[in-house]
Structure 1
Amino acid sequence: MKARVEQEILIIDQNDLPQFKKGGSVVRNSYFWALKAIAGHAPRYGDWEYEVEVWLALKRVLLAFQESGYLGLSETQLAFAPEVMDIPDVLRAVSTWQPLE
């Protein structure tokens, strides 16, 4: 999931967020609600924002769903732009850099 940090707010790109689908996969819908529940701002059609205080909880959610094996790594890993020099320490275990285009 494409992510960036602006003024100590982690922002996940709306195009990479999980989608809730009525009658859809229980795992994917649970993932959607888990991420939405800890977001500071999660508009229906927009990027979701996470304050620094919940980054540890976000890391735990991402790790739990990674370890479940039901979702792909691209769906459960934060991808930062290559020019980002430092990924925040607490998020490093669930982060990578976006491939160069």
Structure 2
Amino acid sequence: MRAWIDNDVLYLHPDDVPHYKKGGSVVRNTYFWALRSISARSRADKPWEYEAEVWLALQRMLMHFLESGYLPLGETQLEFPADATIPAVLRSVSCWQ
């Protein structure tokens, strides 16, 4: 998921966050609700926002869903711009584009 940080807020590109689908995969819908539950803002047409206070929870959540084997790496890994500094708490679930 494409990500960037501005003023201690982590943003996820709206095209990369999971979408809820009625009758869809239970794992994917659970992932959607879990990510949404800790976000500061999560609108379909705007980047999802995560304040620094929840980054540890976000890291643990992403790691859990990655290790479950039900979702691919591209859906559970944060992709930062090449020149970005990745905070230590998010390094285990992040890479550079």
Q: Normalising by structure 2, what TM-score? A: 0.98
Name the counterpart of 1:65. 65
Shift of 1:43: 1.3
Identity level (%): 55
Q: After the TM superposition, which residues 1-101 of structure 1 pair with which residues of structure 2 at under 5 Å, given as runs? A: 1-84=1-84, 86-98=85-97
Shift of 1:44: 2.6
Question: Aligned pairs, how many?
Answer: 97
Question: Which ranges of structure 1 fall in alignment gaps of 5 or more residues?
Answer: none
Stretches of 4+ aligned residues off by more than 3 angstroms: none
Measure the CA separation in 2 of the matches of 1:40 and 1:89.
21
Measure the CA separation in 2 of the matches of 1:91 and 1:32.
19
Measure the CA separation in 1 of the matches of 2:27 and 2:9.
26
Shift of 1:45: 1.8
Q: Give the SS at the match of 1:15.
A: coil
